[in-house]
Amino acid sequence: DTDSRVLDIGGMTCASCVTRVEKALRRVDGVDDASVNLANETATVRFGSGAVRVEDLVGAVARAGYTSTPRP
Ligand code: 9UX
């Protein structure tokens, strides 16, 4: 099965930021896809059920230079 999480992303101001955040999230082990919406300042991340810890997503976004808060 597939799970997804939505994270509120802080610090994005341009289209390149979107690409940076998407690449950072897609590099996390277990992530199948990540899609960022700049207008909404959100990232939607898809992964196999149980394959990813949300803390790893937050960490990857932070290393890319942005903040993130997982939505429940
Ligand atoms: Mo360009 Mo977006 O430096 O931070 S990638 S504004």
Cα atoms in the 13 Å half-sphere on the side-chain side of 63: 12
* Fold observed for domain 2-70: Alpha-Beta Plaits (3.30.70)
Domain ranges of the chain: 2-70
Residue 57 Cα, ligand 1 centroid: separation in angstroms?
A: 20
Q: For position 42, what pLDDT does the model report?
A: 98
Residue 4 Cα, ligand 1 centroid: separation in angstroms?
A: 26
Residue 55 CB: number of other CB atoms within 10 A?
Answer: 9
Q: Sheet of 42-48: strands edge to edge?
A: 31-37, 42-48, 2-10, 67-70
Q: Report the complex ipTM.
A: 0.83
Cβ(38) – ligand 1 distance below 6 Å: no
Q: Per the confidence metrics, is the pTM higher than 0.90?
A: yes
Cβ(49) – ligand 1 distance below 6 Å: no
Closest CA to 52 of 3, 1, 15: 3
pLDDT > 70: what percent of the chain? 100
Tens digits of residue pLDDT in 11-24: 999 999 999 999 99
Report the atom number in ligand 1 closest to the C-alpha of 65. 4
